[in-house]
Amino acid sequence: MKRVGFKRFMSLVVKEFNHIFRDRRTMLILFGIPIMQILIFGYVVNSDFKNIGISVLDRSNDTHSQRIVSKLMASGYFHFRGNLQSDHEIEETFRSGKVKAVLVFESDFGAQFNSGESPKIQIVTDASDPNLANTIVSYIRGIINAYQLEARNATGMGLLVAPEPRMVFNENLSSAFMFVPGTMALILMLICALLTSISVTREKELGTLEVILVSPLHPVQIILGKVLPYIFLAFINGLVILLLGRIVFGLPILGSPILLLAELLLYISLALSLGILISTIAKSQQSAMFVSLFALMLPTVLLSGFIFPIENMPVILQWASAILPPRYFIIILKDIMLKGNGLAVVWPETLILAGMTVLLLFIAIKKFTIRLAI
Amino acid sequence: MRTILVLIRKEFIQIRRNRIMIPAMIVAPLVQMFVLVFAANMNMRDIDFHIHDQDGSTESKQLIAKYLSSPFYSYGGQVFTEQEGEELLRRDQTDMIMTIPPAFGEQLINREPVAVQFLINGINSAAAVLTASYSQSILLDFNQELIANYLRITGQSAPGRIDVSYLHWYNPELDFKIFMVPGILVILVMLVGWLLMSLNVVREKELGTIEQLNVTPIRKHQFIIGKLIPFWILGMIELGIGLTLGRLVFHVPILGSFGLLIGFTALYLLTVLGFGLLIAALSETQQQVMFVNFFFVLVFILMSGVFTPIESMPDWAHWVNLINPLAYYMRVIRMILLKGSGFMDVWQDFASMALFGIIMITLAVRSYKKRS
Amino acid sequence: MSRESIIEVENLTKRFGRFTANDNLTFEVREGEVFGFLGANGAGKTTALRILCGLSKPTSGTVRIAGLDASHHPDRIKKVIGYMCQRFALYEDLTVFENIQLYGGIYGLTPREIRSRSDELLDKLSITDLRNRLIRSVPLGWRQKLAFSIAVLHRPKIVFLDEPTGGVDPIARRQFWDLIYDAARSGMTVFVTTHYMDEAEYCDRVCILSGGRIEALGRPEDLKTTCQVDTMDEVFIRIARKDQT
């Protein structure tokens, strides 16, 4: 009896696998999008700062001002867009959009510098992109600081206190360390929730779900049968993303790989429970998609700390972010992979994820069986 | 002409009756606007730091005092061992550990060079760079004072300290919201045009109603125009809602010409709608359309420069952006709204967009087949 | 039976890759006739009908509709035909009248014509009270009759019906055929595909398709006589069996 049940269950699993593998577009979504996304994030949306157009309004035009400008250009952060002659031109250049900042040297700049006075440089930025404006100012300042140091060293008045910055966990300051964990949390959430909810609602629409429901399988078995292939696929996907992160972007795995994989499974189960829950509520594929996209994708991108720091958000949004599973998964990933932390550190997040999974699964199964009863 | 009007009327009746469409059009923008604008705040927050003072001299306290008085730092406390500091970093309870070596004060008095170590959490590389740059800047000031004191004693002269000031135009307070609102408008207008429209067309395919239309004498262009215009109007309304919200709630300025903005939006919408139609023409089911759209929308949004400057992207991204309508509109709407750029500043984008729009619509009309 | 041919099909072949859906079909349909296209599922009925309507292109062969070559004048042909398919094609989120308005408008009827024909149509089906109801909430049997009435709203010369009575109860089917007869009486040619053999009895002439080929063509009485049986059902089974052996 038990064996018959298992056989039936397995045939359901096999059926689901066949569905997924035969649909090329689904496969494209499953494996193409994660890879594309990782690469786009890695190469395009990284926060590397370079090629920013700047112009110079040099009222002094002496050795010092010229050297500072050539130092700026040699840094690789900036792209020289020509000299300006007067204040009026600043507005014009900003409007054309090619120049993001103008460096203004006051007259007598070099002479004042040599005589130990405080000559002035003004950085005028196009702050229509405030973030960029801020970054430009701090980079230019850094370079000017370095120039002063050099000038000082040349006169034998070197620095007494030298800064010795050391970047821990990410010595080369690769932006991949930020986005790989985030992308992984996003992709897994989407694949699991979006695909399961769509696949269940599609069966609802086609009426094939009814056929399965009248079979002697237990509802829990039906859910498991639907979900098992996706656990497998999502797991493979997670591994692919980890591998890409490692090979292409040099992301380490300092902590225990076993713990990492266990957390991966936990998160996948959570996302799948969410998908099932959505499918019990949504009546059509269209609404399942809308719910998945608006309720899952946007919040994951915006509120989970993936791109924008949670600390900066208004309190209400911080609360909203507290109920988002990706937020905790991202912390866990960073802790285990980049910092080498173990369960001793990540247990609170793990507990939260586990609690959410149990709760969601409970509601999903309950809703599913109620639907059956009606 | 009358045929087109008949089709447009039908489309509007259907949109009015669709229970998802109207909420999706009004609620989604509201929510997106508020959540996105408030969440998408990349401003640097205070740097949490801890101090490991192995010296404890007057000099080391002077240095610490300089950091405490800086508005960018928030002091977390002292640590007494290296391990303790590393543990704090590991648990994400601090951003930076500043270590002052033993005999720091003594060496300064003897005018021997000495190093101060900053351990910075580098996972968020952008923030780490800024943290390092602020910290160095403060240290430079400290040096400057030391040297000035020393020079005063010895009577020597040395190069001055350059006084770097800054002036942020168009957004002196660096209000991130003013930057984000136009970016979100671009995405919203696209979503309405592209997504809703392509879903709508494919739904007709799935239901079979499109076949009924195909056996009628409707011409291809009539069908396409009949679909384009309603969604084009919806997109423009969406822009209106967004602009009003942005103006009233977030005080986003409209410095440039309103007509220019409308004109460019109209072109942009046509291009996006062309994209939607093309994808709909090549897909059979709503699921396929959603997946393909999802792929393109994601790539286009991420590459459009909504969050990160396009200039910093690699060369191939610039090539991809040639066919990314969002990239054009993202740049132009910000220029018009925030900087008051005029037609002469954006005519190249205008021309590219127009050309692009014509190509997309032509492709869409061609790929729509009345017979298989 | 000396009426003119309105549909002329010569050596029509349609292949999808290696699969031949229609194999060298040649037949003609005369004006005012109710012409039945019979066959099991997959016999190629729908494929042929879609070609006749201009929804699909033949691999080879010629099709002439109302004297016009289908591959050269698809748009002129579309003005003189009506079409109703097995998948239900009225807009569910529009009302009965809005659907009439839409298709009337597409075929270039004036608002006055639309109104008068709509009243006439609703009156004939005696569903005047359903005029402003959404199609979604109209019972299935009525929807089918409405779909047919709307398909002939512009008074086409020919109406193509693709399994129009699928999933409808026998009484509603009967009523549906009454509508078809009415249309034929007014001079309209009706081209209908079906796999209900009792419906074949209602046709003036039938063409039985099997495996993409024409197996029999003629008046139902003649076919029954040739096969020496009493019903079309048996005719069909004979032909299908012949095909199997």
pLDDT in tens, A122-133: 999 998 888 888
Q: How deeply is B71 buried, as exposed, middle or buried, from its count of CB atoms within 10 A (0-12, 13-18, 19+)?
A: exposed
Q: Does C166 touch chain B (CB under 8 A)?
A: no
Q: Are A41 and A179 in contact (CB under 8 A)?
A: yes
Instruction: Please give the span between the terminal C-alpha atoms of chain B, in angstroms, as a whole number.
Output: 26
For chain B, where are the E strands, in sequence order?
A: 47-53, 73-78, 96-100, 114-121, 163-169
Last residue of a domain, one of B154, B187, B206: B154
pLDDT digit string, tens, across residues B136-185? 888 878 887 777 777 777 766 666 778 888 888 888 888 888 888 888 88
Same domain? For B302 and B187 the reply is yes
| Overall domain count for chain C | 1
Q: Does any domain span residue C170?
A: yes
Q: Do A97 and B38 touch (CB under 8 A)?
A: no
What pLDDT score does B157 carry?
63
C-alpha–C-alpha distance, residues B291 and A26, integer Å:
8
Q: Do C55 and B216 touch (CB under 8 A)?
A: no
C-alpha–C-alpha distance, residues B164 and A137, integer Å:
9
Q: Do B115 and A44 touch (CB under 8 A)?
A: no
C-alpha–C-alpha distance, residues B12 and B17, integer Å:
9
* Mean pLDDT, rounded, of chain B: 85
Edge-first strand order for the sheet with A101-105 is A78-83, A52-58, A101-105, A120-126, B163-169
Q: Does any domain span residue B145?
A: yes
CB count, 10 Å around CB of C204? 17
Q: Which domain holds residue C110?
A: 33-244
C-alpha–C-alpha distance, residues C115 and A13, integer Å:
56
Last residue of a domain, one of B154, B184, B201: B154
Same domain? For B199 and B257 the reply is yes
Q: Does any domain span residue B55?
A: yes
Q: Does any domain span residue B160?
A: no
Q: What is the distance in angstroms between the Cα of A313 and the nearest Cα belonging to chain B?
A: 5
Instruction: Please give the span between the terminal C-alpha atoms of chain A, in angstroms, as a whole number.
Output: 28
Cα–Cα distances in Å, from A151 out to A114, A164, B134, B289, B356?
10, 20, 21, 62, 53
Q: Are C46 and C193 in contact (CB under 8 A)?
A: yes
Compare B258 and A2 and report the one with higher pLDDT.
B258
Q: What is the distance in angstroms between the Cα of A139 and the nearest Cα belonging to chain B?
A: 8
> Residue A48 above 50 pLDDT?
yes
Which residue matches tokens 């229609």? Answer: C22
Q: Does any domain span residue B163?
A: no
Q: Residue B309: which residues within 8 A CB-CB, separation 6 or more?
A: A52, A100, A129, A132
Q: Which residues of C, range 182-241, sit inside 8 Å of B by Cβ? A: none
Q: Does any domain span residue B184?
A: yes
What pLDDT score does C245 carry?
45
Name the band, by pLDDT with cuts 50, 70 and 90, for residue A158: low
pLDDT in tens, chain C (245 residues): 446 889 999 999 999 888 888 889 999 999 999 999 988 877 888 889 989 988 888 999 999 999 898 888 888 888 899 999 876 678 888 999 999 999 999 898 999 999 999 999 999 988 889 999 999 898 888 888 899 999 999 999 999 999 888 777 888 888 889 999 999 999 999 999 988 888 888 899 999 988 888 888 999 889 888 888 888 888 888 876 665 54
Name the band, by pLDDT with cuts 50, 70 and 90, for residue A234: confident
Edge-first strand order for the sheet with C5-16 is C19-30, C5-16, C60-65, C68-69
Q: Are C38 and C15 in contact (CB under 8 A)?
A: no
C-alpha–C-alpha distance, residues C31 and C8, integer Å:
11
Helix axes C220-227, C232-244, angle to 10 degrees: 60
Tokens linked to A200: 């269940």
Last residue of a domain, one of B154, B181, B196: B154
Cα–Cα distances in Å, from C179 out to B171, C133, C187?
72, 22, 13
Q: How deeply is C245 buried, as exposed, middle or buried, from its count of CB atoms within 10 A (0-12, 13-18, 19+)?
A: exposed
Q: Which helix (H) or strand (E) holds A127?
A: none
**Residue A362 phi/psi, 5° resolution?**
-60, -50
Q: Which helix (H) or strand (E) holds C211?
A: none
Q: Do B163 and A119 touch (CB under 8 A)?
A: yes
Q: Are A345 and A335 in contact (CB under 8 A)?
A: yes
C-alpha–C-alpha distance, residues C81 and B147, integer Å:
97
Q: Are C146 and C125 in contact (CB under 8 A)?
A: yes
Cα–Cα distances in Å, from B229 out to A197, B275, B294, B300, B338?
33, 15, 23, 23, 29
Determine the residue of chain B that is closest to A333 in CA distance: B123
What pLDDT score does C85 carry?
82
Which residues does chain B have within 8 Å of residue C108's beta carbon, measured at their own beta carbons?
A: 2-3, 217
Q: Residue C125: which residues within 8 A CB-CB, separation 6 or more?
A: C142, C145, C146, C149
| Share above pLDDT 70 across residues of chain A, in percent, rounded to a whole number | 92
CB count, 10 Å around CB of A297? 17
Q: Which domain holds residue B136?
A: 47-154
Cα–Cα distances in Å, from B98 out to A92, A128, B48, B146?
44, 35, 11, 20
Compare A95 and B36 and report the one with higher pLDDT.
A95
The domain A52-154 having CATH identifier 3.40.1710.10: the answer here is yes
Same domain? For B20 and B59 the reply is no
Q: Does A283 touch chain B (CB under 8 A)?
A: no
- Touching pair B, A by Cβ (3+ pairs < 8 Å): yes
**Torsional sign, CA B110, B111, B113, B118:** positive
Q: Does any domain span residue C9?
A: no
Q: Residue C170: which residues within 8 A CB-CB, separation 6 or more?
A: none
Which domain CATH number covers B61? 3.40.1710.10
Range of weakest confidence among A213-222, A356-365, B231-240? A213-222
**DSSP helix/strand/coil, A306:** coil
What pLDDT score does C98 carry?
93
Q: Do B209 and C107 touch (CB under 8 A)?
A: no
- DSSP code at position C95: B
**DSSP helix/strand/coil, C194:** strand
> Residue A358 above 90 pLDDT?
yes
Same domain? For B29 and B86 the reply is no
pLDDT digit string, tens, across residues B48-101? 899 999 998 988 999 999 898 888 888 989 999 989 998 888 888 899 999 999
What pLDDT score does A104 carry?
94
Name the band, by pLDDT with cuts 50, 70 and 90, for residue A45: low
Its pTM stands at 0.81
> Residue A271 above 60 pLDDT?
yes
Name the band, by pLDDT with cuts 50, 70 and 90, for residue A1: very low
Q: Does A86 touch chain B (CB under 8 A)?
A: no
Which residue matches tokens 């062969």? Answer: C61
Residue C113, amino acid = E
Q: Are A325 and A356 in contact (CB under 8 A)?
A: yes
pLDDT digit string, tens, across residues B292-315? 887 788 788 888 888 778 887 888
Tokens linked to A215: 């079979």
| Overall domain count for chain B | 2
Same domain? For B70 and B138 the reply is yes
Q: Do A202 and B340 touch (CB under 8 A)?
A: no
Q: Does any domain span residue C141?
A: yes
Preferred mutation among B215, B218, B370, B372 to probe C, highest tally of C CBs within 10 A: B215
Q: Residue B31: which residues within 8 A CB-CB, separation 6 or more?
A: none
Residue C163, amino acid = E
Q: Report the candidate in C73, C30, C29, C23 with the shortest Cα–Cα distance to residue C48.
A: C23
Q: Are A130 and B168 in contact (CB under 8 A)?
A: yes
Alpha carbon of residue B156 to chain centroid: 51
Q: Which residues of A, range 331-370, sit inside 8 Å of B by Cβ? A: 331, 334-335, 338-341, 345
Tokens linked to C18: 């290696």
**DSSP helix/strand/coil, C110:** coil
What pLDDT score does B43 carry?
63
Instruction: Please give the span between the terminal C-alpha atoms of chain C, in angstroms, as a whole number.
Output: 35
Same domain? For B23 and B67 the reply is no
**Average of per-residue pLDDT across A75-83:** 89
Residue A27, amino acid = M
Determine the residue of chain C that is closest to B18 in CA distance: C93
Q: What is the distance in angstroms between the Cα of C89 and the nearest Cα belonging to chain B?
A: 5
**DSSP helix/strand/coil, A238:** helix
Q: Report the candidate in C48, C35, C26 with the shortest Cα–Cα distance to residue C3.
A: C35
C-alpha–C-alpha distance, residues C109 and A67, integer Å:
80
Q: Do B139 and A311 touch (CB under 8 A)?
A: no
C-alpha–C-alpha distance, residues B81 and B99, integer Å:
10
Give the closest of C54, C91, C106 to B6, CB-based: C106
Domain ranges (residues) in chain A:
12-45+175-373, 52-154
- C89: which strand partners? none
**Helix intervals (H) in chain A:** 2-22, 24-27, 33-43, 63-74, 88-96, 109-114, 130-154, 176-190, 196-206, 208-213, 219-247, 257-281, 285-290, 298-303, 315-322, 325-333, 343-373
Q: Do B10 and C94 touch (CB under 8 A)?
A: yes
**Average of per-residue pLDDT across A64-86:** 90
What pLDDT score does B133 carry?
79
C-alpha–C-alpha distance, residues A357 and A271, integer Å:
8
**Average of per-residue pLDDT across A130-152:** 83
Q: Are A213 and A222 in contact (CB under 8 A)?
A: yes
Q: Does B153 touch chain A (CB under 8 A)?
A: no
Which domain CATH number covers C208? 3.40.50.300
Q: Does A153 touch chain B (CB under 8 A)?
A: no
Same domain? For B223 and B98 the reply is no
